[in-house]
Amino acid sequence: MFTPKYPTPDTAPPPTVSAPSAGAAVPVAQTPAPVAPVSNRPTVQLTAGSTLALVGGGTAVVLVVGAVLVSLLLAVAITGMSVAVVAVVLRSILNQERIR
């Protein structure tokens, strides 16, 4: 079950290279270039209007994500400042209790 399965080796004979003689012309067999298969998937054609819509949509997404991130950062900053103020007030209250 866990042993590797190797593909069967090719049965074609290895290619042989013969050195042509100096004065003889060697005929070159020309094979046609392979033709790329035709895809049956539909192609996407961008018109000016669709390109403008894509750019506008991308800009809107960037602006919304930026606004959300800035508001989250602002919320964290406000929370940190309020915690610092509460800590200072508590410290001053506790120091006043020790003095009395």
What DSSP line would sit under 15-26, residue for residue?
P---PPPSSSPP
Instruction: Say which residue the tokens 């042989």 belong to.
Output: 16
Instruction: Provide the whole-model pTM.
Output: 0.47
Would you say residue 32 lies in a domain? Answer: no
Nearest 5 degrees, angle CA 27-CA 28-CA 34?
155
Per-residue pLDDT of the chain (100 residues; tens, 9 = 90+): 788 887 777 776 767 776 666 655 656 667 777 777 777 778 778 899 999 999 999 999 999 999 999 999 999 999 999 999 999 999 999 988 777 6
- Number of domains within the chain: 1
Would you say residue 87 lies in a domain? Answer: yes
Residue range(s) defining the domain that contains residue 96: 68-100
Would you say residue 45 lies in a domain? Answer: no
Phi-psi region of 92 (alpha: psi -120 to 50; beta: other; left: phi over 0): alpha
Would you say residue 74 lies in a domain? Answer: yes
Q: How far is CA 38 from the centre of its chain?
A: 28
Would you say residue 98 lies in a domain? Answer: yes
